[in-house]
């Protein structure tokens, strides 16, 4: 089984208009998967992109639920609006996959996971496992979450993948981004790292400026790299450009162009 994270930067322009969706790219991703399914099982996890992040930021969901009624009430509304925006993104994914003949099935993340400070504290994967057995393609997404410490939180798609990798031990985890892989520096300036040993990730994190870009509330590339370090305990990890046709297929086959972190 392979887990594919479709980054928000791949299916939408995060700095563009609210809820813009690159349907052409998502359909092409689905077409690439068609060549491997059902010999290979897949779980898709997509990010927030221009759907979830603007609401999450506007309503400061990551600050948690405050004590006073007025502010908490507004936060609850924001929590709901963020989730609904993610459901709209998810519906677009399911439509695109089904149109290519793939039995993609929406799994509403905030009904499956409970977090503690944004990390999964509890997750019920029974339905996801059964869906895989029955040859469905579960599609999860970065979402809001009920949080044990803060009341409400944002659960990043990258955190979900770490939990899925730990519990389900996939053959491979592939992160699709809008750049060719992980760079030792800024994309386009630094060198593209084709083979990244797990033990070098900490030093790389120190060399990179870990600031979040645009309206991303979940930490951008640094969060992704920290999670990749954990995922590599359970699975091979790839970072490839989801905007370039064929790169996902290359990562699935194992001869692709991008960054590969070998499983330990
Ligand atoms: P989302 O979290 O919404 O799903 P995503 O998975 O597409 O989004 P981002 O959080 O946007 O990913 O992170 C990918 C972005 O990180 C790329 O667009 C790239 O420009 C930026 N980036 C910054 N530094 C690096 C680096 N050293 N290597 C690779 N990408 C980097
Ligand atoms: O884009 C964040 O998920 P990510 C989801 O995978 C929301 O980090 C709701 C902002």
pLDDT in tens, 78-114: 999 999 999 999 999 999 999 999 999 999 999 999 9
Task: Report d(CA 29, CA 44) in Å as an integer.
Answer: 11
**Domain spanning 2-261 has what CATH number?**
3.40.1160.10
CA of residue 240 to ligand 2 center, whole Å: 19
pLDDT in tens, 55-83: 999 999 999 998 889 889 999 999 999 99
* Mean pLDDT along residues 208-224: 64
Question: Is 215's pLDDT higher than 50?
Answer: no
C-beta contacts of 229-234 below 8 A and 24+ residues apart: 229/198, 229/201, 229/202, 230/162, 230/165, 230/166, 231/161, 231/162, 231/165, 231/173, 232/198, 232/261, 232/262, 232/263, 232/264, 233/166, 233/263, 233/264, 234/165, 234/166, 234/169, 234/170, 234/263
134 versus 68: which is more confidently predicted? 134
Domain positions in the chain? 2-261
SS3 114: strand
Q: Ligand 1 pocket check: which of 8, 9, 56 to mutate, most ligand atoms within 8 Å of Cβ?
A: 9
pLDDT in tens, 150-179: 999 999 999 999 999 999 999 999 999 999
25 versus 210: which is more confidently predicted? 25
Residue 220 pLDDT grade (very low, low, confident, very high; cuts 50, 70, 90): confident
pLDDT at residue 4 in the model = 98
Q: Ligand 2 pocket check: which of 217, 219, 228 to mutate, most ligand atoms within 8 Å of Cβ?
A: 217
Q: Tell me the two tokens of residue 89.
A: 């993104």
Residue 218 pLDDT grade (very low, low, confident, very high; cuts 50, 70, 90): low
Q: Tell me the two tokens of residue 254.
A: 């194992």
18 versus 213: which is more confidently predicted? 18
pLDDT at residue 214 in the model = 40
Of 40-49, 162-171, 217-226, 246-255, the one with minimum mean pLDDT is 217-226
Task: Report d(CA 112, CA 76) in Å as an integer.
Answer: 19
pTM: 0.95
* Mean pLDDT along residues 189-194: 93
CA of residue 3 to ligand 2 center, whole Å: 17
CA of residue 111 to ligand 1 center, whole Å: 27
pLDDT at residue 217 in the model = 54
């Amino acid at each position: 089984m392979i887990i594919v994270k479709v980054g928000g930067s791949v299916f939408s322009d995060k700095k563009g208009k609210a809820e813009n969706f690159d349907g052409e790219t998502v359909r092409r991703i689905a077409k690439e998967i068609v060549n491997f399914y059902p010999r290979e099982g897949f779980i898709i996890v997509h990010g927030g992109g221009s759907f979830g992040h603007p609401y999450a930021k506007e309503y400061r969901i990551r600050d948690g639920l405050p004590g006073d009624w007025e502010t908490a009430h507004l936060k609850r509304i924001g929590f709901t609006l963020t989730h609904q925006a993610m459901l709209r993104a998810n519906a677009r994914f399911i439509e695109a996959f089904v149109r290519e003949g793939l039995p993609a099935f929406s799994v509403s993340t905030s009904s499956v996971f409970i977090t503690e400070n944004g990390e999964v504290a509890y997750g019920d994967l029974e339905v996801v496992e059964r869906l895989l057995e029955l040859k469905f393609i579960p599609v999860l997404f970065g979402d809001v979450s009920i949080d044990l410490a803060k009341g409400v939180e944002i659960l990043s798609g990258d955190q979900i993948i770490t939990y899925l990798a730990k519990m389900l031990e996939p053959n491979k985890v592939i992160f699709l981004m809008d750049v060719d892989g992980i760079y030792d520096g800024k994309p386009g300036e630094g060198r593209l790292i084709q083979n990244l040993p797990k033990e070098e990730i900490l030093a790389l994190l120190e060399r990179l400026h870990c600031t979040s870009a645009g309206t991303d509330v979940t930490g951008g590339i640094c969060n992704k790299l920290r999670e990749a370090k954990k995922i590599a305990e359970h699975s091979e990890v790839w970072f490839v450009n989801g905007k370039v046709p064929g790169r996902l297929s290359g990562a699935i086959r194992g001869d692709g162009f991008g960054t590969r972190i070998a499983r330990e």
